[in-house]
A and B are shown apart, each in its own frame.
Chain A
């Protein structure tokens, strides 16, 4: 889902730390080194990497920019092969039938069936193309904030891993606790008071915060 789409889902992150020197060069290098590969690996079930915001299928960070005003904007591309279970089932069944006929047998052992299934899955995986999924990443280096345009758990996990690998900076997801923890608007006393809060009493007739 893209930043310019009419409807988006957004997860927010705080970047733990800042790049101190040669910011542009460091980020450019991190993007280039971890750009998605243009040659599809037929054995890989999943391929992950960066691609320019304006060029999702040509990961060329020399031609396409990653700076937009004061922001860095690029995309995370996850190419994944997914094989429906029913297709595997069909081809396994065909292979089992073939083997039984060739060898004049009535049954196959459990291990033989597992081996056939593995071979069939492997063969089919190499034949099918991967499906690309593209998620935009908006990074405000100054504010140490990242907007990631997906709330899917798997995509968020891939972002966190690749971001750390590429830029040597950790992403901390923002949710109630981390928003409070990372905000400079709260005093230490207020933070301590928040840490001691407990959920609303579940007894009937109670309302939020009526916990003490």
Chain B
């Protein structure tokens, strides 16, 4: 059992690698719904499609081996991600990314930070307006449902990533596929 701050720092790389893997899934149009079918059913999430898109920001970091860190940020609605791919070739990992999640017709936008997996600037699908005091509980429960949905999807994907990352297939199958994409 590690001390909380020690374990935070020691294993924050898993969150950064998770974001990098997520980028790989997005760029390669991997069917997330199909990949996570069993976990979605277990979490009782019923939907026809789950699609992620890179939003308007992605940040990467590359340790240069002498305690110095190279940081690369790409911002803008239609920004090209070529420099990000170049950084990946040099061994960088994604540390922060803005994502768009679409579950059927509903859309969430948020920044996901790798080391903490905290969500910032989270915007859920539009909910009904509160017109009277009686509406508050309904509005709260609707928002809670929408927050839980995004966390549920992220947790499922993180779970799939960790299972893969700790498996033997990671070294033989997944890495070469990711490497191929990076070298494209």
Q: Which of B18, B62, B137, B166 contacts A202 (CB 8 A)?
A: B62
- Report whether B8 and A207 are in contact in the complex, using a CB–CB cutoff of 8 Å: no
A:46-68 near B, CB below 8 Å: 53-54, 68
B:45-83 near A, CB below 8 Å: 62-65
- Report whether A185 and B159 are in contact in the complex, using a CB–CB cutoff of 8 Å: yes
- Report whether B17 and A209 are in contact in the complex, using a CB–CB cutoff of 8 Å: yes
A:175-200 near B, CB below 8 Å: 175-181, 183, 185-186, 190, 193-194, 197-200
- Report whether A202 and B65 are in contact in the complex, using a CB–CB cutoff of 8 Å: yes
CB closest residue in chain B, given A73: B140
Contact with A along B141-177 (1 / 0, CB 8 A): 1011001000100010011001101110011001100
- Report whether B91 and A206 are in contact in the complex, using a CB–CB cutoff of 8 Å: yes
Q: Which of B20, B91, B143, B165 contacts A3 (CB 8 A)?
A: B143
Cα separation A69 to B138 with both chains bound (whole Å): 9
- Report whether B122 and A8 are in contact in the complex, using a CB–CB cutoff of 8 Å: yes
- Report whether B11 and A177 are in contact in the complex, using a CB–CB cutoff of 8 Å: yes
- Report whether B17 and A208 are in contact in the complex, using a CB–CB cutoff of 8 Å: yes
Given the complex, which residues of A lie within 8 Å of B165, measured CB to CB? 194, 197, 209
- Report whether B163 and A175 are in contact in the complex, using a CB–CB cutoff of 8 Å: no
Minimum CB–CB distance for A75 against chain B, Å: 12
Given the complex, which residues of B lie within 8 Å of A73, measured CB to CB? 140
Cα separation A172 to B4 with both chains bound (whole Å): 9
- Report whether A179 and B158 are in contact in the complex, using a CB–CB cutoff of 8 Å: yes
Given the complex, which residues of B lie within 8 Å of A96, measured CB to CB? none
Cα separation A180 to B15 with both chains bound (whole Å): 11
Given the contacts A175-B15, A208-B17, A7 and B123 also touching, CB distance less than 8 Å? yes
CB closest residue in chain A, given B150: A10
- Report whether A175 and B140 are in contact in the complex, using a CB–CB cutoff of 8 Å: no
Given the contacts A10-B147, A197-B14, A208 and B65 also touching, CB distance less than 8 Å? no
Cα separation A61 to B11 with both chains bound (whole Å): 41
Cα separation A138 to B140 with both chains bound (whole Å): 10
Q: Does A39 contact B (CB under 8 A)?
A: no
Q: Does A107 contact B (CB under 8 A)?
A: no
Q: Which of A3, A6, A177, A207 contacts B88 (CB 8 A)?
A: A207
Q: Which of B2, B136, B179 contacts A207 (CB 8 A)?
A: B179
Given the complex, which residues of B lie within 8 Å of A209, measured CB to CB? 17, 165, 170-171, 174-175, 178
Q: Does B103 contact A (CB under 8 A)?
A: no
- Report whether B123 and A175 are in contact in the complex, using a CB–CB cutoff of 8 Å: no
Given the contacts A7-B121, A207-B178, A210-B175, A180 and B162 also touching, CB distance less than 8 Å? yes
9 contacts between A and B (CB under 8 A): A3-B143, A7-B121, A12-B151, A174-B117, A175-B12, A175-B117, A204-B89, A206-B91, A209-B178
Give A contacts to B, CB under 8 Å.
3-4, 6-12, 53-54, 68-69, 71, 73, 138, 147, 151, 172-181, 183, 185-186, 190, 193-194, 197-210, 212
